[in-house]
Amino acid sequence: MTAAVTHSGIPAHWPAALAPEALATVSTPTPYLISDLSTVADRYHRFGAALPGVRPYYAMKCNSSPEILRTLADLGAGFEVASLGELKMLQYLGVDPADVLYSNPIKPPAHVAAAHAAGLWRFSFDSPGELNKLAEHAPGSAVYLRLRVDDTDAVFPLSRKFGADEAEAADLLRLARKLGLRPYGVTFHVGSQSSSPPAWRRAVAAAGRVMAEAAGDGITLTMLNIGGGFPARYVDHVPAIGEIGAALALDELLPYRPALLAAEPGRHLVAESGVLVATVLGRETRGGENWLYLDVGAFNGLMETLQTGNRWEYPLWTSRADHAHAASGKFTVTGPSCDSSDTMFYGAALPATIAPGDRVYIGSAGAYTLSYASGFNGFPPPTPVFVGSGARTGEGERIVDAGPS
C-alpha cells in the first residue's frame, strides 16, 4: 500500500512548509536538506498522545543538528547517546547529562569514565564484560539490560550485534548487583523502521518475564525502556503510532508498573520533517536505461538506499512545472561521484521531460541523511536549512544557510 497523496500529487505527510512552490523560493545552492521544525514538534506531540506516560529520549544519532536538538529539548525530551561525542554536543547546548541515557551496549572505557564524571548515571549493558567495565569506570551507576528480541519485521534488524538472551537476563542483573552497580531497568529494540505493532507487544512480554524473575531475587527495576524502531512514512504504508501504543498492553504484560517508562524514538520524530533537494547534473541513456545524475548521492546522505540493496524508497517530486501531468518515465537515479555503486534508485518514476538543471525533491529525508553524509570524492554533504517556529533566528521563522552541523 502506498501513502495517501494530496490533490497536487505529493504525499499527504509532506510538510506544507516544504511544498514545491515553497522550495522554489529557497536560494541555497544544492544539495541542501531543508527541515521543518514545526513538523518535528508535531511528531513529538503525537508520539506523547499515542504513548501516554512514556518519556521520549531522542536517539540523536539519526539527526544531531543543533536546531533539531534544541527544538526537542525545549519540548521536554530526554536524549539517548551512543558515544561521548554525542554527549558533548548535548552539553554544548545546555542539556544536563543527568537527563541522558547511554544506550550503546558496548562502550569505550574512556567514554564511560568521562560520561560518568560529567553526571551521566544510566548506562546500558548486555554482557558480563560490559558490567565489569562499568563497575570499574562508572562505579555505583545505574545499569539497564539490553534484551535481544524478535526484530524480523524491521527494515534494519539489530539483534545480531546487541542484546542478551532472555535466559541469561536474571543472572546478568544479579551480577550487576554483586559488582556494586544498581540494576535499574531493561530495554530492547525491535529493529529500525519496524512495521509490526505486535513486535513491541512480544518484546514487552519478554521484558515482563525478566522483571518477574528479577523480582524473585529481590531486584525491583525502575525503568522499562521500549527502545526505538518507531516507523516514519516514506512511500509504503506503515502502522500509525497509535497502533503501536495500543499494542503495548503494559498493565497486562508487566508484573508491576516501573517508575519510568521510556522510549528512544529517532526516525519517527524527524524523518518526515526533511526534504533533500538536489539538482540534475545530467541525463543519459545507457543500455536502454534512462540514467539521471544528481549532485547528491548515497555517500552524501542517501546511504540507506545502499544498505537495503536499493529497496529503500523515498517520495520524490521535481521542480518541473509539468510534474503533475507530464508522462512518467522510469529512471535509474545515481549520485555525482565516480563510484558506480553510488546509485540510489532503480525504476524511479519521474517526469519523462526532466532535464539537466531541474531539481529533484526527496521527501522524508530528515533521518540518517546528514548523519551519514560524507565529502567523498570532494562532493560536499548537503547544507542544512531550517524553517518552522522552532528555528531560533530571532528575526522570524526561516533559517537559510545554517552551515554544517
pLDDT in tens, 326-335: 888 999 999 9
Contact between 377 and 299 under an 8 Å Cβ cutoff? The reply is yes
Q: Rounded mean pLDDT of the chain?
A: 90
pLDDT band at residue 4 under the 50/70/90 scheme: low
pTM: 0.91
Q: What pLDDT is attached to residue 399?
A: 38
Q: What pLDDT is attached to residue 228?
A: 85
Provide CATH code, domain 38-270: 3.20.20.10
pLDDT band at residue 156 under the 50/70/90 scheme: low
Quick one: what percent of the chain has pLDDT higher than 90? 75
Q: What is the domain partition of the chain in residue ranges? A: 16-34+272-387, 38-270
pLDDT, mean of residues 102-118: 97
Quick one: what percent of the chain has pLDDT higher than 70? 91
Q: What pLDDT is attached to residue 193?
A: 73
Q: How many CA atoms lie within 13 A of 339 on its CB side?
A: 14
* Same fold for the pair 16-34+272-387 and 38-270: no
Q: Which residues belong to the active site?
A: 338
The CATH number corresponding to 16-34+272-387 among 2.40.37.10, 1.20.1260.10, 3.40.1160.10, 3.90.1170.50 equals: 2.40.37.10
| Nearest Cα residue to 102 out of 118, 135, 133, 79 | 79
